[in-house]
Amino acid sequence: MAINLSIPLAWTKAGADELNMLQCLQGNILKGHGRRFTANLFFRLDPAKTLRSRRMLRDLANFHISSAYRQLLDAQRFKETGQGAGPFVHLALAAKGYQALGLASSAPTDPDFRAGMKAPASLAALHDPAVSDWEPPFQQEIHGVVLAAEETASLLGALALSLRELVEDGGGTVAFVQHGASLFNAAGEGIEHFGYVDGRSQPLLLQEDIDTETAEAGSSRWNPAFPPGDRPGEGSGHDRCGELWKLLRVPKARTGGQGLQDPRAGDRGSPRAGRAGA
């Protein structure tokens, strides 16, 4: 049975095809990973060591990367028992990362993705500063980013170190590590660095999250439902979600075990985030 992307996904009632998709899709796409501490390891691969790099990515996929389904199960367990979900790992590849792996023909064909974030059109569209004004590590060529997340800073430190060693053993070089930590207001709500409550007016792709949001905040002024297959301006009409639509439709790049999806999702030291690329 084909997956219906014209309606939000009810993952707790998912059929066989939907479960397979959730098990092959990385976490942190359909909803945020929810951990308090993060480390983003931006790396470069050595084109002369493609076999080592591919083995490294296979090991990441098989033993570290969290699937969307595992993330949802862990989140449900946390809500029911308060038990922490443990480590979370996500991989994003840039177009130049595919090239360094000798897999340029397998890269997503989206022209913006292939051009990279240093392309003049990208700089203009995102209102980014000139590349020469970026933080020095990001002026270099970046092939991908590994997002590591944990519940405590000490646990994250150990996780990030093990992932760094894995990347370096695979012939890669970690160009920069960007750390993050959740912020909370007096009411215990997660907030953005400028003070707004995090996640408000967020488009929601899972029916369970939509039901919770509408029960708590209503939907008369904002309908959070966003079917995964919607194009901007169609269906629910969330024009601001065009980037999300494109991200969810990026083809998969399999390296064995779980698939490595979402080659554009990642953070960088620029005002806008969303693609790992240079």
CA-wise closest residue to 148 among 229, 226, 86: 86
CA atoms of 27 and 17, how far apart (whole Å): 17
Contact (Cβ atoms closer than 8 angstroms) between residue 42 and residue 137: yes
The CA distance from 54 to 84, in Å, is 31
Q: What long-range pairs does 12-16 form, CB within 8 A, spacing at least 24? A: 12/208
CA dihedral 68, 71, 73, 76 (to 10 degrees): -130
Number of neighbours of residue 32 by Cβ within 10 angstroms: 16
- Tell me which residues are annotated as active site: 211
